[in-house]
Amino acid sequence: MAETKRPTSPAAEEILGLYFPVLDHGFVSLVDYLGTDECIERAARVSYGYGTRKQSLTRGLLRYLRRHKHTTPSEMVELKFHCCMPMFIARQWIRHRTANVNEYSGRYSLMPMLFYTPDAAQLQTQSRRNNQGRSGQPVADDVHAEALRRWESIRRESTETYAWLTANEVARELARIDLPLSTYTQWYWKIDLHNLLHFLTLRVDAHAQWEIQEFGRVMAGMLQRVAPMSYEAWIDYDVRGTHLSRGELQAIRDLVKVDADGLAATGSRLDRAALEKHGLARREIDELFAKLAPAPPLPDFSLDVANARSAEHFADRFAHAVPATDGAPAD
């Protein structure tokens, strides 16, 4: 095979085509990528070609671009993933409408009867403060056991019905209509770096659903290998950075004055009464306190290649989960 003249990343090449398990039956694979950190720099410095530059200069430029939201150069880098996830996660994922997507079709192919089952730690009660999230408190043991029993019953009946319908030559596009959202689907998903960073910022956040966070973590680890300096800037400015509103900034300005010698404390106090005078609502005040709280440890999205599997590993698993043509599930 001829040596490529395109910029490549050795760390990305190491994992290209490897499949990293996510949840109980899902996966993410980096299928291909176009461009590296250096390509972003060349796009920003249009007159700059393939000459040698110091890495510190590249890093400084990429951080400047990220800090000042000059996003167009990062659109020149693209990553292509092969992903497999439960359908309810796919429905969240597809809301990011800035990618090219080709999904497994239940009209053309038989659906594998694989279903996502939350483990005991993730089967939690509803949050009282967040209508779209869980509380962090696992359900009682008896509730967990009964939930598993009911899910198994529903999935067994769904599997039997789907197998019976397809075995009796009912169109696949109709046989699939009552499969539960826990059923796994998969797709190829190609996106440019700018929009990938937006996706990851939302989906690795602690407020995102835990299951999609798990996919985001693996994809962030893949990004780290493709464009490590862009990844670093994303961590610093988006994942562990923050944005301040006009009211928040004014409250902090009242607390800290800037003069020719630097910063000077004013002796003021950022209590709720003072913040309310700046027009901040109760939730805004809570969020400002959270922004100024001691920083948590930096996240580590590094991938362990030892955890990766081959494409054949997952292909075989899915093939065995497709219903047999005699109306019974395959062995």
The per-residue pLDDT for 1 is: 54
pTM for the structure as a whole: 0.90
The per-residue pLDDT for 296 is: 85
- Residue 263, amino acid: L
Model confidence pLDDT, tens digit, residues 99-110? 999 999 999 999
Q: What angle do CA 172, 173, 178 make, to 5 degrees?
A: 95
Cα-only R_g, the chain: 24
Which one is predicted more confidently, 269 or 174?
A: 174
| Confidence band of 2 (pLDDT split at 50, 70, 90) | low
Model confidence pLDDT, tens digit, residues 225-256? 999 999 999 999 999 999 899 888 888 888 88
Per the CB < 8 A criterion, the answer to whether 45 and 17 are in contact is no
The per-residue pLDDT for 266 is: 78
pLDDT mean over 277-295: 87
Tokens of 123: 């089967």
Domain boundaries, the chain: 10-116+179-240+302-320, 246-292
pLDDT mean over 179-185: 97
Model confidence pLDDT, tens digit, residues 288-300? 888 888 888 999 9
Give the CATH number of domain 10-116+179-240+302-320; options: 3.40.50.1240, 3.40.1020.10, 3.40.920.10, 3.30.1360.170: 3.30.1360.170
Which candidate in 155, 176, 203, 217 is catalytic?
A: 203
pLDDT at 51 over 60: no
Residues contacting 266, CB < 8 A, separation 6+: 254, 255, 256, 257
| Confidence band of 131 (pLDDT split at 50, 70, 90) | confident
Residues contacting 85, CB < 8 A, separation 6+: 22, 23, 26, 93, 184, 185, 186, 211, 212, 215
The per-residue pLDDT for 331 is: 47
Does residue 203 have an active-site annotation?
yes
pLDDT mean over 181-197: 98
